[in-house]
Amino acid sequence: MLDERQAGLLTDVLNSARLIRSYLAGVSRESFFGDAEKQDAVLRRFEIIGEAASRLAPDTQAQFPSLPFRAMRGMRNIIAHDYGEVDLELVWKTATADLPVLIETLQRDFENGSAAET
């Protein structure tokens, strides 16, 4: 069981991942690459995911060994500090291939009470 702050951070990760999924529902790769507004929305949510991941305690991160917290923080840092170096192909791949696993993992843990507040 996690304390309220840690559970809240994981909730932020999950909610942002779900929003990315909703932003990209029915959107093709080509449409995403041509739509600066979609890109901005997705990148902002990836920033939130990375920031929340950076605030998770090591003990919390250890409870989710399959989640790439370091990569989450890394993507956030690139978006926030090296915005000219953002690789939209990687953003697309992460959003379409990796986020479903993250969502499934966190949803399952919240449903099972593992990530629930104490």
pLDDT digits 0-9 by tens, 25-49 = 999 999 999 999 999 999 999 999 9
Count of other CB atoms within 10 angstroms of residue 84 = 6
Judge whether residue 118 has pLDDT over 60.
no
For 92-113, letters b (16+ CB in 10 Å) and e give bebbeebbeebbebbeebeeee
Domain boundaries, the chain: 4-109
Tell me, yes or no, if 76 is annotated catalytic.
yes
Average pLDDT over residues 87-112: 94
Pick the catalytic residue from 18, 45, 55, 81: 81
pTM score, whole prediction: 0.91
pLDDT of residue 110: 85
Q: Are 12 and 48 in contact (CB under 8 A)?
A: yes
Pick the catalytic residue from 44, 70, 73, 76: 76
Tell me, yes or no, if 70 is annotated catalytic.
no
Q: How far is CA 29 from the centre of its chain?
A: 19
Closest CA to 14 of 93, 107, 115, 118: 107
